[in-house]
Amino acid sequence: MSQQFYYEDVEVGSEIAPLVKQTTTRQLVMWAGASGDYNPIHYDKDFAQSKGLPGVIVPGQLVGCFLGQLMTDWLGEQGRLRRLTCSYRGMNFPGQTLTCQGKVTKKYIEDGEHYIELSLWVENEKGEKTVSGRATVTVPSRGAA
Amino acid sequence: MIEGTSSIEGLKDKVGVEWGAGVYEVEKGMIRRFVQAIDDPNPLWQDEEYAGKSEYGGIIAPPTFVVTLGLEQIGQVLASVPSVTVLHGSTELECYQPIMVGDTVTVTTKIAAIRERQGKMGRTAFLTFDFAYENQRQELIARCRQMIICY
């Protein structure tokens, strides 16, 4: 866990520490059980290929949860994730290394809360952005501490 | 659960009709299975002693955990349309309150919209599912909009 940072420490345009994920088919099975998403394209290769896919694909929602982890790892205990949007633009396959990244796009104070907005994305080893997203978070302020 | 139909066309009658997607008693094991699947070692999600000393006073679920509650409803609705391929388009999650171990979460959902267009894979349908999640105090704790692509 990173040490708690404050609103005043954050600069628009800065990038946050990336989160690297090594996906596996085992993880897809664990995810199916934990999430209740039993779409066979995520664990049955024959079924996936019958649907015209190259093989089983990593569920978008799982990668969306990686972006959630990217946020909570960065936010520390006192920060809160308020909004997270993810757009699943390209397919990810088990065995790939996915790098989750984020960049601060905006900061503002509203109703006494200190908001930060970020643009998020996930890249595969080829540098292709397969998932993009946005997050809105609130963080503590030194002024209020 | 809404009644199954054999085509996307048949689902159009259900647009806007809300249904109960389940009541979930959140226990530590559910959260543990979720964070193990993601491989998220944050002690706030699993370590009682650590989480007890945090400002939450106990184990909480990660903010994205809530999206799994009632998620199987999408598969159940679409299982009745066996010929289609189902892909996930996007997720929009808004979090208002954290989920604590011991909370009971009631999920309601509806198909908010269905739009169709001719794509490279033939006729493609975009289904928007809206989920609302309330805790045992009838407080709205999160909302989620899931866009599903069927072709």
**Chain B residues with CB-CB distance to A63 below 8 A:** none
Residue the block writes with tokens 């106990």: B58
pLDDT at B2 over 60: no
Bridge partners, residue B132, by sequence: B108, B143
pLDDT at A124 over 90: yes
- Closest chain B residue to A78, measured at CA: B55
Bridge partners, residue B129, by sequence: B111, B146
Instruction: Please compute, for residue B148, the number of CA atoms within 13 A of its CA located in the half-sphere on the CB side.
Output: 25
The fraction of chain A above a pLDDT of 70, given in percent, is 97
Residues sharing a CB contact under 8 Å with residue B81, sequence separation 6 or more, in sequence order: B5, B6, B7, B8, B11, B150
Domains delineated in chain A? 7-23+59-138 (3.10.129.10)
Of A108, A101, A97, nearest in space to A137 by CA: A108
Q: What whole-number distance in Å separates Cα of residue B31 and Cα of residue A11?
A: 33
Q: Are B111 and B34 in contact (CB under 8 A)?
A: no
3-class state of residue A79 by DSSP: coil
Tell me which H or E stretch contains A25. Answer: helix A25-35
Total number of residues shown for chain B: 151
pLDDT, residue B127, reads 95
Q: What is the pLDDT of residues B51-110, one digit of tens each?
A: 999 999 999 999 999 999 999 888 888 877 767 788 899 999 999 999 999 999 999 999
To the nearest whole angstrom, how far is the Cα of A65 from the nearest Cα of chain B? 6
Q: What residues does each domain of chain B span?
A: 8-26+69-150
What's B8-26+69-150's CATH class?
A: alpha beta
B62/A38 CB distance under 8 A: no
pLDDT at B119 over 80: no
Please tell me which of the candidates A34, A52, A60 has its beta carbon nearest to residue B34. A34
Q: What is the pLDDT of residues B24-58, one digit of tens each?
A: 999 999 999 999 999 999 999 999 999 999 999 99
3-class state of residue A71 by DSSP: helix
